[in-house]
C-alpha cells in the first residue's frame, strides 16, 4: 500500500478536527469552515471528506450520548489519530520549507 | 411549531443512505435545517434537498443486492463455477449436449408457437365465446351432409322471436369481383368479397379506421375496404365517399375503411365487404336459398343450449308453415311421419365460432380450409418427442461421462461432501447446460421463424414483448434441466468413495441398462416418425394421382369471363377455332374451388316432402362434359340441336343413390325446383337425360355429394381444354382474342391442376412439417448415439488394445463395437413399428379415400434407422479399431 495522500479540502477538515479534538462533528466543522473560507459549503462535502479520512486512518469517530437535540439522534464526534497528526505535520513542514525557498527578491522585498 | 424538512427528499434520503451513516448524517442535516429555517425557511428547504442529492453518490448509497451470506448462496456460486469449469474441460461432450438440447428446445419452441396460434384461432374477436354459427345437417337416403350456410329468413326469425340473440349477422359469399374507379377504365380484381349485414363490425368487434361502425353497411350499395384493398384501388389514400363500379355494373359508395382482418381468423382472406342490403335476394322471405352463413352473438350469461333449443323449433314453426303455402297436404305431423319412415332429416344446429377451426366436422361451404385438432395433437406429440429426445441425450451423455467424474465424486465425498450437496452440484451443471441451450435455442428459433412460417403457412412472430412467454420459457428450461439432470445426479452421487477412488473406478460405472433403454426410446421415436412421414407422403401422392373422375391437366380457366358481357359467346367461338384448343365451355362451377349451389328438387308430380332432395345444381353449357373430361355412364350429353334440353338434367352417381335407382332407371325421371307456384300443373319440370360417373369436386377428405348439371347462362369462367404443346403460345393467342372482344377488361387465368393442388395445401403443409421435425429428431438421436459411441470406444480402448495384440482384425473389432448399438436399434424397431402402424391408421381414417399401409414402409424406415446408426457408430468404432495398441495399453 502506498502512502495515503491528503487533498486540500480534506486537509482543512482535518485541521478543524484537530482543533476541536473530540468535539468535532459535521455541523460544527461546516460552520467553522464557512466562517473561515467565507463561502458556502455543502454539508455533504464535509461528510465525504470525513469518511474518506476515516478510511485512510487519519481520523476516528465515536457516537456521543443521546440528547434532546436533533430529534434524539446522536452526534458522531471525530478525533485525529496519530497518523493523521503526522500527516498534518508533514504537510505543514513541506509547505513551510517550500515557502521559505521563495526568493525574497522576486517580490522586491 | 415543529418544522420538518421537505418530506420527499427526506424519504428519499432514508431510502438510499447506508444504515451505518444514517443516524449521523440525518442528525447533521436536521440540525442544519432547523438552524437555517429560522433565518430563511425557503432557502433551508432548498439547501436540504440539494444536500440530499449531493449525498446520492457511491460510498453513501447502501447496497441494494439482498444481503445474503448464507451458505447456500456461496455453495451455489461455487457450484456454478465448478460446473462452468467442467463444461469447459470437455468441450466435445459439452458441445454435443448443448447442441442437442438447443435443437430440441428450438424445435419444441416453434411447435409450441404454432399450436398456440392454432388454439387461439378466431378467439381474438370480441366476446368470441358468445358467437355461434348456425349450420344445417341434412340426411337423405342414408347420406348425411352438413352445410355452413342456412336460409336467409332464419336471421329475421331469430331477430323477432329469439330475444337472447344480442346480434345477428349474415354473410353472402360473393367470390371474386372486378372493381373499377369512376375515372378509370381499368378493372382491378378482388378475390374474396363478401356481403354482410350492418351488424357485422359490431358483432366481431372490428374497428373502422374511417367511417362509422354502426352505419357503414346500413345503406344498399355501400362498400367497406381493408387498408390493403384501399391501397390497391385508391393509392392516394382518399377513399371515403368515392364510388366503385362492381363487375362493370352498378356503382357502390365507399363508406368505411376497416382495420385489417386478424391473420388467425376465418375472415383473414377478406378485403372487401358489401352491405347485404345491396342484394335483392337477401330481403326475400323464401327459405329455399341456402346461401347465408348466419352468426349469432348471445347476450352475456345466456346458456348456449337455449340457442340449440330455439333452432330445433325452427323447422316446425317457420320452415314447414312456409312450405305449406305451396305444398298441399303438408303438415308438421306429416313431415314428422315421413321423417320417421324414411330416416331422412333436416335440422339446424349451432356451432361455437371458437370450435369452427379445430373442432368442426366436414362442413360444406366453409369459409376456408379448416384445420383439425388432430393435427394439433400430432404436432404436440412431435414437440414432446423432440424435447424427450433431447433430454434423453443429455442423460445418456452425462451418465456415460460419470466414469470420468467418479474420482471427483470420491474425493469430494472423502473431504466431507454430503450426497444432497453433490446432487445440487450436478443439478447446477445440468441447469447451466439447459440455460445455455435455451439462449442458443431462442436465437436459432428466431432465425428459423421466417422459414417455419413459410412451411406452416402461418404468420407467427416471437412474442418477445410478452412477459408470460419468457416466464414459461425460463420455467420450462429449469424443469427440463432438473429432469434431465436428476438421473445423472442421482446416479453419480451414489458412488461409494472407496470404490470410486480405486484405480479406474470402472466398477462404479452404473446405469448401463438405463442408458440402453434410453437409446431404445430415442430410436423408437425416430423410427416412428420416419414411418409416419412416409405414410403421410404416400397418402399425399395418392390423393394427387387419384382418378378424380375429371381431367384437370391442360385445362386453362379464365376468371371473370363475364366481363366480356354480350361478347362472351363470340369469345368462346373464336377461341374454339384455335388449333391448340380442344374444347371451350362456359360455366361458373368447377370441380376445383369455385361457386357452389344447392337446390331443392321435388321428384315426380306429387310434391311430397318425402320426395324432396337437396342436390348441387351446376349451370353449364353443351361443352362442359368434354371440356373437363367427365364420363357419362348412361344417357347422353346436352345436344345443341335439341331445344328441349333447356329442361334437361344430368345427374351424378351420388344422386342416383339418393333416388335409389340404377342409372338406366333414372333416365327420364322428372323433377322440379319450381314448386312454389300456385298452379302446380304448370310447374317447370326437368328430365334426367344422363348420368355422369362420380367425380371429386370437394376435397378428397369428403365424399362425393349429389349434384346435377343443367344448361344455364350465368357463366363467370371460360374453361378451355388445350391440346398438349406450347401453352404459353396458346395463352397469348387466347389473350389476343380476349383483348378484342373485351377491351380494357382484366385477363386473369390459371391452370386447373394448380388450383386443385391448393386444395391439399393443408396436407402438404403437414407433410412438410412432419419431414422437417423428423429430420430434426433423427439428428438429435444421432448426436446422442455418436456421443455414446465415442465414449464407448474410449472406455474400451484397453480391451481393444489387448484384442489387437492377440490378433483380432480391424473388422472384427469394428463389428464388436457396433453390434451392441445395432441390437438396441433392432429392439426399438420391434417396439415402434406396431405403434406407428396403429397411429397412422388412425390418421388415415379421416380421409374418405386412403391408402392401405404397406409393409415396405416399415421395412424402409427400419432400414433407414439401421443405416443411419451404422454410419454414426462405425466411424467411432473404426477409429478405435485402427488405434495402435501400444498407445492405449501404455497409459495407466
Whether B136 is covered by a domain: the verdict is yes
In a domain? residue A65: yes
Q: DSSP for B215-254?
A: TTTTSTTEEEE-HHHHHHH-TTS--TT-EEEETTS-EEEE
Residue B17 falls inside a structural domain: yes
For position B69, what pLDDT does the model report? 62
Average pLDDT over residues B465-475: 88
**CB spacing of A44 vs B23 below 8 angstroms:** no
| Placement of cell 360455366 in the chain | B587
B165 and B50 fall within a common domain: no
- Tell me how many degrees the CA angle B136-B604-B587 measures, rounded to the nearest 5: 60
- Quick check: is A2 in a domain? no
More confident site: A55 or B185: A55
Q: Does B851 contact chain A (CB < 8 Å)? A: no
CA B750/CA B752 separation, integer angstroms: 6
Same domain, yes or no: B135 and B277: yes
pLDDT of B676: 67
* Residue A109 domain-assigned (yes or no): no
Binary contact (B27, A42; C-beta < 8 A)? no
Alpha helices in B317-372 (DSSP H): 320-324, 332-342, 353-359
- A41, closest residue in chain B (CA to CA): B51
Q: Which of residues 67-86 of B touch A (CB under 8 A)?
A: none
Q: Which chain A residues are closer than 8 Å to B18 by Cβ?
A: none
Query: At a CB cut-off of 8 Å and minimum separation 6, what does B788 contact?
Result: B396, B397, B400, B515, B519, B821
Mean pLDDT of B746-752: 84
| pLDDT for residue B508 | 41
The percentage of chain B sitting over the pLDDT mark of 70, rounded to a whole number, equals 94
Q: Is residue B543 part of a domain?
A: no
Answer whether residue A56 is part of any domain: yes
Beta-carbon count within 10 A of B464 CB: 9
Find the mean pLDDT for residues B90-110: 88
Does B752 map to a domain? yes
Asked if B325 and B176 sit in the same domain, the reply is yes
Fill in the DSSP letter of residue B853: P
The confidence score (pLDDT) of residue B505 equals 47
Instruction: For residues B760-787, give the mean pLDDT.
Output: 81
Q: Which of A59-73, B67-81, B153-167, B257-271 has the lowest mean pLDDT?
A: B67-81
Q: Total structural domains in chain A?
A: 1
At B168, the pLDDT band (50, 70, 90 cuts) reads very high
Q: Mean pLDDT throughout B739-758? A: 81
Nearest CA in chain B to A72: B27
Residues paired with B292 in a beta bridge: B150
Which CATH number is A30's domain given?
A: 1.10.10.10
Mean pLDDT of the B382-393 span: 86
3-state secondary structure of B875: helix
A55 to chain B: closest CA residue: B59
pLDDT tens digits, residue range B528-560?
Answer: 888 888 888 888 788 777 778 888 888 888 887
Instruction: List chain B residues with CB under 8 Å of A63.
Output: 23-24
Does a structural domain hold residue A3?
no
Look at the pTM and tell me if it is higher than 0.90: no
Contact assignment for B32 to A69 by CB distance below 8 Å: no
For the ranges B264-273, B395-404, B606-615, the maximum mean pLDDT occurs at B264-273
Answer yes or no: do B23 and A74 touch at CB < 8 A.
yes
Chain B residues near residue A75 by CB distance under 8 angstroms: 24, 27-28
Alpha carbon dihedral B878, B882, B886, B890, in 10-degree steps, equals: -20
Digit-coded pLDDT (tens) for B56-87? 888 888 877 665 567 777 888 888 888 888 88
**C-beta separation of B615 from B598 below 8 A:** yes
Same domain for B598 and B731? yes
Give Rg (Cα) of chain B.
Answer: 38
Q: Does A43 contact B27 at a Cβ distance shorter than 8 Å?
A: no
8 Å CB contact of B50 and A74: no
Mean pLDDT of B158-166: 89
> How close is the nearest chain B Cα to the Cα of A44, in Å?
6
Per-residue pLDDT tens digits for B292-337? 889 999 999 888 898 998 998 888 888 888 888 877 777 888 888 7
Q: Does B37 touch chain A (CB under 8 A)?
A: no
Least Cα distance to B328 among B550, B585, B609, B604 occurs for B609
- Residues A13-48 have pLDDT tens digits of 999 999 887 888 889 999 999 998 888 888 989 999
Question: Which residues lie closer than 8 Å to A87 by C-beta, 6 or more apart?
Answer: A4, A6, A14, A58
Residues linked to residue B294 through DSSP beta bridges, in sequence order:
B134, B170
A48·B57 Cβ contact <8 A:
yes
Contact call for residues A47 and B29 (beta carbons, < 8 A): no
Give pLDDT, residue B446: 92
pLDDT band at A1 (very low <50, low <70, confident <90, very high): very low
A41 belongs to a structural domain: yes
Burial B76-90 (b: 16+ CB within 10 A, else e): eeebeeebeebbeee
pLDDT score, position B507: 44
Task: For B500-511, write each residue's pLDDT tens digit.
Answer: 776 554 544 555
- Report residue B772's pLDDT band, with 50, 70 and 90 as the boundaries: confident
Identify the residue with better confidence: B604 or B324: B324
Query: What domain count does chain B have?
Result: 3
Of B23, B28, B57, the CB nearest to A43: B28
Positive or negative torsion for Cα A14, A19, A22, A25: negative
Compute the C-alpha angle B10/B14/B19, nearest 5°: 150
Distance CA A36, CA B470 (A): 61
Helix (H) or strand (E) holding B419: helix B419-456
What percentage of chain B has pLDDT greater than the value 90?
7
- B263 and B173 together in one domain: yes
Name the pLDDT band for B143 (thresholds 50, 70, 90).
low
pLDDT score recorded for residue B677: 67
Specify whether B27 is located in the same domain as B163.
no
Residues B18 and B152 in one domain: no
- Contact at CB, A69 and B31, closer than 8 angstroms: yes
Does position A85 have pLDDT exceeding 50, yes or no? yes
What angle (nearest 5°) sits at the alpha carbon of residue B470, between those of residues B466 and B475? 145
What average pLDDT score do residues B561-585 get? 86
Assigned domain for B124 exists = no
Q: Are B161 and B309 in the same domain?
A: yes
Q: Which of A33, A43, A78 to mutate to test the interface with B (most CBs of B within 10 A)?
A: A43
List phi, psi (to 5°) of B106: -60, -45
The sign of the torsion formed by the CA atoms of B644, B645, B649, B652 equals positive
Q: Does residue A84 belong to any structural domain of this protein?
A: yes
Q: What is the pLDDT of residue B854?
A: 84
Average pLDDT of span B568-581: 87
Question: Does B640 share its domain with B729?
Answer: yes
Is residue B871's pLDDT more than 80?
yes
Range of the domain at B28: 7-55
Q: Are residues B214 and B297 in the same domain?
A: yes
Residues forming beta bridges with residue B350, ordered by sequence position: B134
Task: For chain A, say whether B20 makes contact (Cβ under 8 Å).
Answer: no
Q: Which domain holds residue A42?
A: 8-104
Highest mean pLDDT among B278-282, B747-751, B829-833: B829-833
Q: Is residue A1 part of a domain?
A: no
Whole-number Å distance between alpha carbons of B262 and B125: 9
Task: Answer whether residue B32 is part of any domain.
Answer: yes
Q: Is residue B306 part of a domain?
A: yes
Given the DSSP bridges, would you call strands B555-559 and B748-751 parallel, antiparallel or unpaired?
Answer: antiparallel
Q: Which of B9, B14, B31 to mutate to test the interface with A (most CBs of A within 10 A)?
A: B31
Domain presence at residue B434: no
Q: Which residues of B touch A28 (CB under 8 A)?
A: none
CA distance B671 to B683: 10
Mean pLDDT of chain B: 84
In tens, the pLDDT along B18-53 reads 888 888 888 888 888 888 888 888 888 888 988 888
Tell me the C-alpha distance between B823 and B829, whole Å.
10
- Do B197 and B337 sit in the same domain of this protein? yes
C-alpha cell read off for B665: 332407371
B593: confidence class by pLDDT, cuts 50, 70, 90: low
Please answer whether residues B543 and B844 qualify as being in contact, where contact means their C-beta atoms are separated by less than 8 angstroms: no
Minimum distance, in Å, between the CA of residue A90 and any CA atom of chain B = 28
Residue B62 or residue B437, greater confidence: B437
Burial class (CB in 10 A: 0-12, 13-18, 19+), B571: buried
Residue B597 sits in the same domain as residue B688: yes
Cβ within 8 Å, pair B24-A75: yes
Amino acid at each position: 500500500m502506498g502512502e495515503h495522500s491528503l487533498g486540500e479540502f480534506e486537509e482543512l477538515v482535518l485541521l478543524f478536527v484537530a482543533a476541536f479534538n473530540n468535539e468535532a462533528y459535521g455541523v460544527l466543522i461546516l460552520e467553522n469552515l464557512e466562517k473561515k473560507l467565507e463561502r458556502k459549503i455543502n454539508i455533504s462535502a464535509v461528510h465525504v471528506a470525513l469518511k474518506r479520512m476515516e478510511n485512510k486512518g487519519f481520523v476516528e469517530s465515536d457516537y456521543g450520548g443521546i440528547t434532546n437535540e436533533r430529534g434524539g439522534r446522536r452526534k458522531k464526534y471525530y478525533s485525529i489519530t496519530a497518523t493523521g497528526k503526522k500527516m498534518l505535520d508533514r504537510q505543514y513542514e513541506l509547505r513551510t520549507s517550500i515557502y521559505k525557498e521563495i526568493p525574497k527578491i522576486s517580490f522586491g522585498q | 411549531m415543529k418544522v420538518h424538512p421537505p418530506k420527499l427528499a427526506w424519504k428519499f434520503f432514508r431510502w438510499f443512505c447506508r444504515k451505518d451513516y444514517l443516524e449521523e448524517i440525518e442528525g447533521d442535516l436536521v440540525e442544519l435545517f432547523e438552524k437555517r429555517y429560522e433565518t430563511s425557511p425557503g432557502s433551508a428547504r432548498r439547501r436540504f434537498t440539494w444536500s440530499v442529492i449531493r449525498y446520492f453518490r457511491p460510498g453513501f448509497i447502501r447496497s441494494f443486492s439482498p444481503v445474503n451470506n448464507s451458505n447456500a448462496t456461496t455453495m451455489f456460486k461455487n457450484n456454478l463455477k465448478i460446473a462452468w469449469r467442467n463444461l469447459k474441460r470437455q468441450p466435445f461432450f459439452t458441445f454435443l449436449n448443448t447442441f442437442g438440447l438447443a435443437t430440441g428446445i428450438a424445435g419444441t419452441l416453434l411447435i409450441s408457437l404454432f399450436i398456440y396460434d392454432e388454439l387461439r384461432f378466431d378467439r381474438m374477436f370480441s366476446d368470441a365465446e358468445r358467437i355461434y354459427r348456425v349450420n344445417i345437417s341434412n340426411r337423405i337416403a342414408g347420406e348425411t351432409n352438413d352445410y355452413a350456410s342456412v336460409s336467409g329468413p332464419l336471421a329475421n326469425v331469430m331477430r323477432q322471436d329469439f330475444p337472447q340473440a344480442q346480434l345477428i349477422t349474415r354473410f353472402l359469399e360473393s367470390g371474386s369481383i372486378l372493381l373499377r374507379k369512376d375515372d378509370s377504365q381499368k378493372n382491378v380484381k378482388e378475390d374474396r368479397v363478401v356481403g354482410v349485414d350492418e351488424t357485422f363490425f359490431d358483432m366481431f368487434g372490428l374497428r373502422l379506421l374511417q367511417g362509422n361502425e354502426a352505419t357503414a353497411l346500413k345503406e344498399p350499395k355501400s362498400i367497406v375496404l381493408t387498408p390493403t384493398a384501399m391501397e390497391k384501388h385508391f393509392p392516394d389514400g382518399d377513399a371515403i365517399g368515392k364510388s366503385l363500379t362492381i363487375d362493370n355494373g352498378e356503382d357502390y359508395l365507399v363508406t368505411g375503411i376497416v382495420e385489417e382482418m386478424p391473420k388467425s381468423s376465418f375472415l383473414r382472406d377478406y378485403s372487401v365487404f358489401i352491405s347485404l342490403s345491396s342484394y335483392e335476394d337477401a330481403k326475400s322471405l323464401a327459405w329455399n336459398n341456402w346461401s347465408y352463413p348466419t352468426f349469432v352473438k348471445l347476450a352475456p350469461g345466456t346458456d348456449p343450449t337455449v340457442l340449440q333449443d330455439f333452432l330445433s323449433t325452427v323447422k316446425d314453426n317457420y320452415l314447414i308453415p312456409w312450405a305449406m303455402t305451396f305444398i298441399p297436404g303438408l303438415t308438421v305431423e306429416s313431415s314428422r311421419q315421413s321423417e320417421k319412415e324414411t330416416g331422412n332429416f333436416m335440422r339446424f344446429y349451432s356451432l361455437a365460432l371458437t370450435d369452427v377451426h379445430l373442432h368442426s366436422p366436414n362442413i360444406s361451404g366453409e369459409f376456408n380450409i379448416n384445420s383439425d385438432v388432430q393435427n394439433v395433437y400430432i404436432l404436440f406429440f412431435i414437440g414432446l418427442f423432440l424435447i424427450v429426445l433431447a433430454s434423453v441425450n443429455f442423460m445418456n451423455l452425462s451418465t456415460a461421462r460419470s466414469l470420468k467424474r467418479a474420482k471427483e465424486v470420491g474425493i469430494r465425498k472423502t473431504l466431507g461432501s454430503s450426497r444432497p450437496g453433490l446432487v445440487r452440484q450436478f443439478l447446477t451443471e445440468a441447469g447451466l447446460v439447459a440455460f445455455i441451450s435455451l439462449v442458443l435455442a431462442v436465437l436459432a428459433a428466431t432465425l428459423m421463424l421466417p422459414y417455419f412460417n413459410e412451411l406452416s403457412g402461418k404468420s407467427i412472430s416471437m412474442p418477445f414483448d410478452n412477459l408470460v412467454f419468457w416466464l414459461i420459457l425460463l420455467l420450462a428450461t429449469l424443469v427440463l434441466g432438473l429432469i434431465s439432470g436428476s438421473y445423472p445426479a442421482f446416479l453419480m452421487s451414489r458412488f461409494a468413495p472407496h470404490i470410486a477412488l480405486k484405480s479406474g473406478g470402472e466398477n462404479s460405472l452404473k446405469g448401463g441398462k438405463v442408458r440402453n433403454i434410453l437409446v431404445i426410446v430415442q430410436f423408437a421415436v425416430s423410427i416412428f416418425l420416419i414411418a409416419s412421414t412416409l405414410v403421410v407422403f404416400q397418402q399425399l401422392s395418392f390423393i394427387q394421382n387419384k382418378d378424380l373422375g375429371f381431367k384437370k391437366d391442360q385445362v386453362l380457366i379464365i376468371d371473370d369471363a363475364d366481363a366480356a358481357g354480350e361478347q362472351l359467346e363470340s369469345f368462346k367461338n373464336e377461341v374454339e377455332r384455335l388449333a391448340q384448343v380442344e374444347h371451350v365451355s362456359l360455366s361458373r362451377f368447377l370441380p376445383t374451388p369455385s361457386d357452389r349451389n344447392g337446390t331443392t328438387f321435388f321428384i315426380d308430380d306429387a310434391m311430397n316432402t318425402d320426395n324432396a332432395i337437396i342436390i348441387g345444381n351446376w349451370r353449364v353449357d353443351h361443352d362442359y362434359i368434354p371440356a373437363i373430361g367427365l364420363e357419362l355412364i348412361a344417357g347422353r350429353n346436352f345436344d345443341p340441336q335439341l331445344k328441349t334440353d333447356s329442361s334437361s338434367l344430368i345427374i351424378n352417381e351420388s344422386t342416383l343413390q339418393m333416388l335409389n335407382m340404377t342409372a338406366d332407371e333414372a333416365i327420364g325421371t322428372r323433377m322440379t325446383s319450381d314448386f312454389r307456384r300456385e298452379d302446380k300443373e304448370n310447374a317447370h319440370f326437368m328430365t334426367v337425360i344422363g348420368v355422369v360417373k362420380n367425380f371429386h369436386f370437394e376435397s378428397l377428405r369428403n365424399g362425393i355429394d349429389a349434384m346435377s348439371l343443367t344448361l344455364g347462362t350465368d357463366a363467370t369462367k371460360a374453361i378451355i381444354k388445350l391440346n398438349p404443346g406450347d401453352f404459353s403460345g396458346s395463352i397469348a393467342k387466347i389473350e389476343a382474342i380476349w383483348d378484342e372482344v373485351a377491351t380494357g377488361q382484366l385477363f386473369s387465368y390459371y391452370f386447373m391442376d394448380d388450383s386443385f393442388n391448393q386444395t391439399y395445401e393443408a396436407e402438404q403443409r403437414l407433410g412438410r412439417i412432419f419431414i422437417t421435425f423428423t429430420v430434426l429428431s433423427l439428428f438429435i438421436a444421432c448426436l446422442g448415439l455418436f456421443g455414446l459411441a465415442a465414449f464407448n470406444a474410449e472406455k474400451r480402448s484397453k480391451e481393444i488394445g489387448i484384442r489387437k495384440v492377440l490378433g483380432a482384425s480391424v473388422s472384427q473389432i469394428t463389428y464388436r463395437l457396433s453390434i451392441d448399438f445395432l441390437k438396441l436399434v433392432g429392439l426399438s424397431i420391434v417396439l415402434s413399428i406396431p405403434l406407428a402402424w396403429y397411429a397412422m391408421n388412425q390418421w388415415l381414417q379421416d380421409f374418405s379415400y386412403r391408402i392401405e399401409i404397406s409393409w415396405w414402409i416399415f421395412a424402409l424406415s427400419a432400414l433407414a434407422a439401421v443405416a443411419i446408426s451404422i454410419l454414426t457408430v462405425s466411424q467411432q468404432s473404426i477409429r478405435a479399431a485402427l488405434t495402435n495398441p501400444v498407445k492405449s495399453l501404455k497409459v495407466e
